[in-house]
C-alpha cells in the first residue's frame, strides 16, 4: 500500500473552550453507585488527541488553522432560525440546550462554527486531489447527531453533513459517501440526507434506538433506509455489544465495501468516533487498537479503490480519555498506512489502555489452565494429566 506522507490536522483552541454544565445526563450519583462519571464530553478529549498527534506523529502532522463555517455554509444543512438560536444561546451564556444532556457555554457557537469549518477544509483538501495528505478535522463539538433544526447528543452543527454539501455545491463532487463508525447512530446525518441519492450514509452502531422522542426520534434500524429518491441510500447497520475487531471486518466485507463500491462516490468522508472501543463508557463493542488501525486502513483502501483516493476523517465521539487518544492515533496510523511500534518505548505507553487487551487469548488460557491443572491434579480431582511431580 502506498503511504501518505502528511497528516493535515484542522484544530482550533476554541474547541477546548466549549464546556458543558454538570448534571442532567450525568448526575453525581445514581440509585446504585454514589459517584458517577462526569459528563463524557470533556475538552480534555481534544487535548489528548492533539497531544498524542504532537508526540507521535510530528513528522507527519501539519497543523492547519480553521476558518469558521459561515452562516450561509451552515445553512446548506441547518434551518436559519436554528442557527440563530445556537448563536443566541451562547450570547446568553449557555446552559442546557436540550433536556437530555446537550449543553454549552458562551463559546459553544464559535466552537461549533470552527468544528464545521475544519470539516469543510478537510473535505476541500481531499477533493482538490492532494495526493500526499490525509486531512483530519479534530472537531468538537461533534456533529453526527445534529439534525436540520435540532441539537442532540452533544452535537450542534453536523460537521460531516455541512462538509458534504460544500463538496457537492462548491467542489467537483457529484456523489458523497459518509461512513460513520462512531458507536452511536449517526441519526442527524441520516435525517439531513434521508431523501437524497447523491449522499450515501452508512452508519455502523449499537442498536440503542431512540433516546428521546423529541431530540432523537430516529431508531437506527435497517428499516430506516431512506425515502423517495433516497430509498436505499441510508444504510443502518446496528451491531451487538461485543462485535469486536473481527465483527467489524465482517461488516465491512459483506456490507460496507460492496455498497460503497456500487455507489462509486467522489469522496469518502469518515465520521470517526472511538467509542466502539473496549474501554469506552458509552460503547461496548470491544474494538482494540489494532481494530482501530484496521478501520483506518480499510477507509484508506475504500477511498483509494472507489472514491478517487479522496478521504477526509472527521472526529466524532470517544469518551475514555486514554482510549480516545490511542484509538484515534490508530485510526490515523491506519489511514497513513503506517503502524508505530511502541514495544521498546518507556513506561508512558502503559497509558495505552489497549496494551493488554489486544485480543482474546483462548489458546494461552488453555495452556495456562493445563499447566496449573497438571501441578495440582495429584491433590484435587482435576482432569489434567500430571506433567510435573512436585511443586518445586
Q: Which residues contact 344 (CB under 8 A, 6 or more apart)?
A: none
Q: Judge whether 205 counts as a catalytic residue.
A: no
String marking each residue 323-362 x if it binds Zn ion according to CB under 5 A: ----------------------------------------
The answer to whether 242 and 284 are in contact (CB under 8 A) is: yes
Please say whether the beta carbons of 270 and 314 come within 8 A. Answer: yes
Whether the bond into 141 is cis, omega within 30 of 0: yes
Length of the chain, in residues:
392
Which parts of 197-226 interact with Zn ion (CB under 5 A)?
none
- Can residue 317 be called a binding residue for Zn ion (CB under 5 A)? yes
| Count of residues engaged in binding Zn ion, rule: CB under 5 A | 5
Q: Are 155 and 86 in contact (CB under 8 A)?
A: no
Angle at Cα 371 formed by Cα 369 and Cα 374, nearest 5°? 105
Binding mask 272-291 for Zn ion (x = CB under 5 A): -x-x----------------
Taking Cα atoms as reference points, which of 285, 286, 279 lies closest to residue 360?
A: 286
Stretch that binds Zn ion, among 37-45, 68-76, 238-246, 317-325 (CB under 5 A): 317-325
Among residues 114, 144, 145, 184, which one is catalytic?
A: 145
* Rounded Cα gap, residues 141 and 383, in angstroms: 57
Query: What's the closest the beta carbon of residue 134 comes to Zn ion, in angstroms?
Result: 22
Residue span binding Zn ion (CB under 5 A) among the ranges 94-102, 245-253, 315-323, 349-357: 315-323
Residue 316 CB, shortest distance to Zn ion, in Å, is: 6
Tell the smallest beta-carbon distance from residue 189 to Zn ion (Å): 12
Minimum distance from residue 334 beta carbon to Zn ion (Å): 19
With CB under 5 A as the contact rule, the residue among 45, 114, 184, 301 that binds Zn ion is 184
3-state SS assignment for residue 228: helix
Is the CB of residue 228 less than 8 Å from the CB of residue 272?
no
- Residue 322 C-alpha cell reads as 486514554
Q: In terms of C-beta density within 10 A (0-12 exposed, 13-18 middle, 19 or more buried), how is residue 355 classed?
A: middle
- Retrieve residue 215's grid coordinates: 431530540
Residue number, 153 or 265, with CB nearest to Zn ion: 153
Rounded Cα–Cα distance for residues 86 and 155 (Å): 11
The piece of 28-36, 66-74, 108-116, 313-321 that touches Zn ion (CB under 5 A) is: 313-321
Task: Tell me, residue by residue from 220 to 259, as one string, x for binding to Zn ion by CB under 5 A and - for no binding.
Answer: ----------------------------------------
**Least distance in Å: CB of 277 to Zn ion?**
11
Contacting positions for Zn ion (CB under 5 A): 182, 184, 273, 275, 317
Catalytic residues: 145
Amino acid at each position: 500500500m502506498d503511504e501518505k506522507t502528511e497528516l493535515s490536522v484542522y484544530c482550533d483552541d476554541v474547541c477546548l473552550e466549549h464546556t458543558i454544565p454538570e448534571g442532567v445526563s450525568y448526575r453525581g450519583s445514581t440509585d446504585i453507585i454514589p459517584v458517577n462519571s462526569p459528563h463524557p464530553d470533556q475538552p480534555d478529549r481534544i487535548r489528548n488527541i492533539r497531544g498524542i498527534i504532537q508526540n507521535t506523529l510530528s513528522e507527519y502532522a501539519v497543523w492547519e488553522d480553521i476558518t469558521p463555517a459561515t452562516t450561509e455554509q451552515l445553512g446548506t444543512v441547518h434551518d436559519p432560525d436554528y442557527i440563530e438560536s445556537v448563536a443566541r444561546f451562547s450570547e446568553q451564556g449557555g446552559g442546557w440546550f436540550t433536556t437530555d444532556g446537550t449543553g454549552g457555554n458562551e463559546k459553544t457557537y464559535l466552537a461549533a462554527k470552527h468544528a464545521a469549518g475544519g470539516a469543510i477544509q478537510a473535505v476541500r483538501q481531499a477533493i482538490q486531489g492532494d495526493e500526499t495528505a490525509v486531512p483530519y478535522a479534530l472537531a468538537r463539538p461533534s456533529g453526527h447527531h445534529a439534525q436540520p433544526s435540532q441539537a442532540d447528543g452533544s452535537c450542534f452543527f453536523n460537521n460531516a453533513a455541512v462538509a458534504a454539501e460544500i463538496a457537492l455545491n462548491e467542489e467537483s463532487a457529484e456523489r458523497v459517501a459518509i461512513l460513520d463508525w462512531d458507536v452511536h447512530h449517526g441519526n442527524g446525518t441520516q435525517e439531513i440526507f434521508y431523501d437524497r441519492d447523491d449522499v450515501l450514509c452508512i452508519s455502523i452502531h449499537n442498536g440503542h434506538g431512540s433516546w428521546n422522542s423529541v431530540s432523537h426520534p430516529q431508531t437506527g434500524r435497517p428499516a430506516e433506509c431512506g425515502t423517495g429518491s433516497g430509498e436505499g441510500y441510508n444504510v443502518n447497520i446496528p451491531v451487538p455489544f461485543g462485535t469486536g475487531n473481527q465483527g467489524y471486518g465482517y461488516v465491512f466485507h459483506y456490507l460496507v465495501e460492496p455498497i460503497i463500491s456500487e455507489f462509486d462516490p467522489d469522496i469518502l468522508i469518515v465520521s470517526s468516533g472511538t467509542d466502539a472501543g473496549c474501554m469506552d463508557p458509552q460503547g461496548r463493542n470491544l474494538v482494540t487498537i489494532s481494530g482501530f488501525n484496521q478501520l483506518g486502513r480499510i477507509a484508506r483502501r475504500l477511498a483509494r479503490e472507489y472514491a478517487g483516493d479522496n478521504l477526509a476523517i472527521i472526529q466524532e465521539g470517544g469518551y475514555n480519555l486514554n482510549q480516545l487518544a490511542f484509538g484515534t492515533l490508530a485510526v490515523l496510523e491506519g489511514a497513513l498506512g503506517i503502524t508505530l511500534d511502541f514495544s521498546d518505548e518507556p513506561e508512558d505507553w502503559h497509558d495505552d489502555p489497549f496494551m493488554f487487551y489486544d485480543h482474546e487469548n483462548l489458546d494461552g488460557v488453555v495452556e495456562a489452565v493445563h499447566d496449573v491443572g497438571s501441578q495440582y491434579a495429584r491433590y484435587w480431582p482435576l482432569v489434567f494429566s500430571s506433567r510435573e511431580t512436585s511443586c518445586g
